[in-house]
Structure 1
Amino acid sequence: MKKGHVDQRARSPWTPLKGVHSVTVAPGERVIDGEVTIPGSKSLTNRAFIMSALAEGTSTLKGFLRSDDAYWCIDALRKLGVAIDVHEDEARVHGTGQNWKSDSLYIGAAGTVARFLPGSLVTAAQGEWTIEASESMTKRPVAPLIDALRALGGEITHLEKEGHYPLKIKGKPLQGGTVDLSGKISSQYISGLLIAGPYFQTPLQITITDHIVQHAYVRLTLDLMEAFGATVSYDDALQTMNVSPSVYKPQALTLEADASTACYFFGLAALNEGRVRVTNVTAETKQPDIGFLTILEKMGCTVIRGESYVEVQGPKQLKGGFDVSMREMSDQTLTLAALAPFADGPITISEVEHIRYHESNRIKVIADSLTKLGIQVEEYNDGLKVFPGTPKAAKLDTYDDHRVAMSLALIGTKVAGIELTDPGCVSKTCPSFFELLASFGVEVEEKV
């Protein structure tokens, strides 16, 4: 995504900041001290929607995330003939058992839909679809997934650039068998193939040829598949996974809150010698970003892990002077990079080369942004090193990337005059992010 360019088509009607050009974030007069309830998990929401749509019968999903990604997932499923009733954060999905209608689909910038839907379409008995995506999504590779589906007999055509969206897919019954797949760029390729696994005519075996960048997200997929009645088996390292032919069964589920979103509010407490309790996330979640709590403790924070909540209390001075691999919780790379200038020693982040292929080249973007703020940064192929310093006021681009926007906003809670363009990009994960930030007394000024 080019600096300053926004693909407005990808903004759904659920975007509260549509038409807002920028926001300025500044410290408030109040001490950061309070509670917050976080929206539902992005990771679980679209997994659950697609499995519910594949089931025959009605599933009820409570606590789903009302975000751009969920909107485009629901929109695509409705065009496929799946009736979905939505009331606030509860949805009733009337699954059609893969009896999809042919249509042209648009999925916005929803990476989960881009990786989870093709397998579910290509294994359908019949139907043809074209799938378009946002400008940023067309730059993100999908070749490993598409190559694996083609190796299993799937008919998928890249309409423009090979290995990228847009796609044309033709459904037909497919045999299973053994297929090799890389997991070093995105675990979502693996999840996309797994989700479709029960709908192959014979057992499917997936062999990982290298390493998985985030094992926990694959385990989330496997757990949810089992909750929907699929039969799966796998080794501890997830190097080989097997799926037996079956059908998903309708379920009534309450989805967890989003641990990744919670981390920004834990970071808010950490930066401001404050106290933030997230009321609907627990340390027992299998979402990998909850591991960020251990890093905050290393930085001097006090973490209270309650039965139904997690609370973080920030120290007088954040501690640095350490190296850390963020591979298994790479979505928090930018959060840590935003905290790092305020630590008492440099922090080196490694093993996150794959985030260069997310909504933006996240390593480069955060390095450039911190440099613009006057912070010394060393950029590496697989990470970066951030040195202590005092950020200065600046206008920063968010590159149509929700995690860039939310991480840089944290700096604004300590430094007056941080202006962020295109704040609406946060609606991909947490449409109410700036509203929730303001509830703690942080100054948030919108500009149209």
Structure 2
Amino acid sequence: MAEAEGSGLSPWSALVGVPHVDIAPHRQPITAEIALPGSKSYTNRALLCAGMAEGRSVLTGLLRSDDSFWCLDSLRRLGAGASVDGTTVTIDGLGRRRPRPEARLYIGSAGTTARFLPGLLAAGGPGAFTVDASRQMRGRPMAPLLLALRQLGADIDCPETPDAPPFTVRGVSLLGGPVRLSGALSSQFISGVLMAGPMALNGVHVIIDDHVVQRDYVAMTLDMMEQFGAVVEADADLSEMRVETGGYRPADVTLEADASTATYFFALAAVTGGTVTVTNVGTATRQPDLRFIDVLERMGCRVTRRPDAVTVAGPTGGRLTGGIDVDMRPLSDATLTLAVLAPFADGPIAIHGVAHIRKHESDRIAVICAALTALGITVEERPDGLTVHPGRPTHGVMATHDDHRVAMALAVLGVAAEGVRLQDPGCVSKTCPPFFDRLADLGIGVTVG
């Protein structure tokens, strides 16, 4: 496919071809109420469940990002109906039918789609479905997932790179049954097996041999499956999970804001001494990254919690509290947000438990350590994290490494320090295409180069 030669950009991408964005320092407290784009994790789970349901579903609060575009595009190429109006999408699901049994699908850099789609294809109707991805996604092998699916009967062939896209999946091959998985590598591998369960001939019985590294995301998967009529049973610690056969039913679902994206706006309140309320995600969420507000409280911020909204105000003393050690494993997508706040604290901040983020869109530990060092901050890098010492970051021209979280975190740092130029800023389209527009709406100087 021609798309596979590119970076995974979609018609929903922002800043295509823009070489850089300049973020100016902001010396006044930022005070705002803001509704943020929908959760990437919930959006792609809901899209795929709706696409595999028998009938029409309506999803509101859709995240219009590269990942969700390619997920929707794959459903359409399989023959599902999908119409989008703003942030509402209406999907006429396929069930097990495959009207286009020779479909070629392109998923861009959508990691969730890459992990969730193979089992759903194998459990569906007859056909041979070729799934390809961006260069970045091609470099992220999925061996544990594909091994588990093959043990359940799935016919999956990877002709170019072992256990990575592109791959071909043949339908009516997933029998289901019991399978053992490690939970220490990726919650998405577990979710990929579970989501196929309602469509597998014998359902699935997933047994975890160790522990689930991010159990909240598996719980989110089970919740979404149940909203679409799946029958699931799980132990409290998610060591065993059973999914009955029976398919998915259509559902109307409202998607909450992305808690990972919210961390950057809470961080802006923390470093400017302002007050930011995110109005469309709160303590009722399953998203683990909302627990970032607990870390901010340890750093002296004032937090007001409601089931559907959260307010963060900067520390009363004006300086963030350091001298803390934080296990970020449960909320690892917020690691870089904490790393860029750390220079502005009154003592070092140690982060650990996140060795797995070295294998995300970039080696996030190495990248943020190099960036902070280049800006004059003392950093100690470890295999599973880093320690950041207090300092005053200088202005810098920073690579984003085609990583949305690197770009958004460094933008926060630029606001709090002396500004920053971010190269290739369009990577934010993976999860928050309007990110820089939202910064400008808050009064922050944003210049598109």
* Structure-1-length-normalised TM-score: 0.96
Shift of 1:173: 4.1
Q: 1:83 aligns with which of 57, 81, 84?
A: 81
Deviation at 1:308, TM superposition (A): 3.5
After superposition, the C-alpha distances for 1:14-42 in whole angstroms (9 at most, x for unaligned) are: 11211211111112364311111101110
Partner residue in 2 for 1:352: 354
Match of 2:233 in 1: 233
Cα deviation digits, residues 12-70 of structure 1 (max 9, x gap): 11112112111111123643111111011100001001111111110000111000000
Distance in 2, matches of 1:280 and 1:152, equals 39
Q: Residue 264 of structure 1 contacts residue 335 of structure 1 at CA under 8 Å; is this kept in 2?
A: yes
Deviates more, 1:307-316 or 1:326-335: 307-316
Q: Secondary structure at the match of 2:380?
A: strand
Find the counterpart in structure 2 of residue 45 from structure 1. Answer: 43
Which residue in 2 is equivalent to 1:214? 214
The amino acid of 2:96's aligned partner reads Q
1:93 alignment partner, one of 57, 76, 91: 91
Distance 2:184 2:275 in 1: 37
Give CA deviations for 1:74-121 in whole Å, capped at 9, x if unaligned: 111100001101100001000011212221111000011000100000
SS at match of 2:55: strand
1:71 and 2:69 correspond: yes
Q: Distance in 1 between matches of 2:219 and 2:127?
A: 31
1:445 aligns with 447
Q: Which residue in the other structure is 2:167 paired with?
A: 167
Q: CA deviation at 1:175?
A: 2.0
Q: Partner residue of 2:322?
A: 320
Q: Give me the whole-angstrom Cα distance separating, in 1, the residues matched to 2:128 and 2:340.
A: 45
Aligned to 2:394: 392
Provide the rounded CA distance (Å) in 1 between the counterparts of 2:97 and 2:52: 8
The alpha-carbon deviation at position 165 of structure 1 amounts to: 1.4
Task: For 1:280 and 1:104, locate their aligned partners in 2 and report how far apart those are by CA, in whole Å.
Answer: 36
The match for 2:408 is 406
What amino acid maps onto 1:377 in structure 2? V
CA contact (8 A) 2:7 2:109 kept: no
* Amino acid aligned to 1:167: F
Give the whole-Å Cα distance in 1 for the aligned partners of 2:392 and 2:130.
Answer: 49
Q: 2-side partners of 1:170 and 1:309: how far apart?
A: 44
Deviation for aligned residue 1:7: 7.2
Residue in 1 that maps onto 2:378:
376
Residue 418 (structure 2) pairs with residue 420 (structure 1): no
Q: Which runs of 5+ in 1 are unaligned?
A: 1-5
Looking at structure 2, the residues matched to 131 and 230 of structure 1 have their Cα atoms a distance apart, in angstroms, of 25
Mapped to 2, the partners of 1:173 and 1:163 lie a distance apart of: 18
- Distance (whole Å) between structure 1 residues aligned to residue 325 and residue 419 of structure 2: 30
TM-score normalized by the length of structure 2: 0.96
Q: 2:244 is matched by which residue type in structure 1?
A: S
Give 1:47's aligned amino acid: R
Amino acid paired to 2:337: T
Identity over aligned pairs, percent: 52
One-letter code aligned to 1:41 = S
Cα distance in 2 for partners of 1:382, 1:323 equals 13
| RMSD between superposed Cα atoms in Å | 1.3
Q: Is contact 1:26–1:418 with CA below 8 Å preserved after alignment? A: yes
Q: Distance in 2 between matches of 1:160 and 1:215?
A: 32
Aligned: 1:149 with 2:149: yes
Question: Which deviates further from its counterpart, 177-186 or 378-387?
Answer: 177-186
SS in 2 for 1:56: coil
Q: How does 1:259-298 map to 2 (within 5 A)?
A: 259-298=259-298
For the 8 Å contact 2:154–2:175, the answer to whether it is kept is no
**1:53 and 1:98 in contact (8 A); partners too:** no
Supply the distance in 2 between the matched residues of 1:152 and 1:66 (Cα, whole angstroms). 34
